[in-house]
Amino acid sequence: MKPATTRAWAVVHTWTSLVSTVFMLLLCLTGLPLIFHHEIDGWLGVAAPAPLTAGAPASVDTLAARALADHPGRVIQYIGWDEHEPGLAFVILNATAGSHPNDSITVNYDAARAEKLGPASSALMQVVLRLHVDMFAGLPGKLFLGAMGTLLVAAIVSGVVLYWPFTRRLAFGTIRPRRRTAWLDVHNLMGIVTATWLAVVGLTGVINTLSEPLIGRWKATELDAMTLAHRGEPAVTAKASLDRVLATAREAAPGMEAAFIAFPGSGFSTARHYGVFLKGSTPLTSKLLQPVLLDAGTGAVADTRTLPWYLTAILVSQPLHFGDYGGMPLKLIWAALDIVAIVVLGSGLYLWWTRRRSAGAAAFALAEAR
């Protein structure tokens, strides 16, 4: 590689890293406990699923009625079933059906007895999640973190390009004894070892930050087309049985099981339709959802179709980002890689600071000599 090209890549690596490092450190530090959020909530005595009752799930109508009775003044936005705990159902409630998700509460229920178990997450993990997702800044915060993730990917690519020119005379894994040189060797070694993982987590994180505008696009195009034939129909006064709605949705998508029900007026339905989202039974298809739109008054199927590619990309990217599709062994691997990523980011910041300080000291000495 020509020296001028190397210098250009070095500039790209330095500035993309510098701009994004503080925010990437925030994401790594908050992402580490999120990998184990189920376990941490259990240790805190929150969202503990036991004791769950064995047997068939209770009537969805009974579950909805119980949740509304437990939370007067609120309405249900979603009812769903936990994929990790078959006996666990969750209910998401808010002030109105169309209220923002950040204002909602999520409560766990025993799916067989429709009995309240408690909040689905501790206050601590909710704060950590908000910091990780949008820094309490809503959509602008999500998009900003997406931009930082894009810079991280650019830093990874430029770092990989620079790895060979800077280390070609060293055996792989060499750590030289001088303090700053040792940190440089650690930074290079850990960076190249984790480059692929960092790129995957960074790209999937960027995709996840786009979820809100992409869901808005789906509602404006696909969902709008699914309800075109029902425009102008009168508002629903008496709603159909949820059990009937769920049974009809399963008939429309044979071999699939319900993931969650979106109530009329919520983010994944319309003012006069239920949205039942079903998933497959294999490890891969369980991450892919198929929506069935049903008339809220009659329970009849209005339309069903597969999700567009961009929403499928979000669904696939989420488990890759958090490493929660392979059980505890994969979580431990993700956690170890996250810690290595923190070392890479921290060492890069340290190297920049010491180089800047050394350059400043040299310039001061030169000025004094004159």
For 42, 51, 114, 131, the CA distances from 38, given in Å and listed in that order, are 6, 16, 21, 18
pLDDT tier for residue 181 given thresholds of 50, 70 and 90: confident
pLDDT tier for residue 358 given thresholds of 50, 70 and 90: low
For 210, 220, 343, the CA distances from 274, given in Å and listed in that order, are 25, 17, 47
pLDDT at position 151: 95
pLDDT at position 208: 92
pLDDT tier for residue 74 given thresholds of 50, 70 and 90: very high
User: Residue 77 in contact with residue 263, Cβ under 8 Å?
Assistant: yes
> What is the DSSP secondary structure assignment for residue 222, as one 8-state letter?
I
pLDDT at position 25: 94
Taking alpha carbons only, the member of 34, 19, 22, 20 closest to residue 132 is: 34
pLDDT at position 223: 84
**pLDDT (tens digit per residue) in 135-168:** 999 899 999 999 999 999 999 999 999 988 878 8
* Residue 66 token pair: 């119980």
For 16, 130, 151, 324, the CA distances from 198, given in Å and listed in that order, are 15, 21, 12, 16
Q: 120-146: string of b/e by CB count within 10 Å (b at 16+)?
A: bbbeebbebebbbbbbeeeeebbbebb
Q: Please indicate whether residue 69 or residue 2 has the higher confidence score (pLDDT).
A: 69
Say whether the peptide bond before residue 51 is cis (omega within 30 degrees of 0).
yes
Least confident of 4-18, 61-75, 143-157: 4-18
Alpha carbon distance 153, 155 (integer Å) = 5
pLDDT at position 112: 86
pLDDT tier for residue 359 given thresholds of 50, 70 and 90: low
pLDDT at position 1: 66
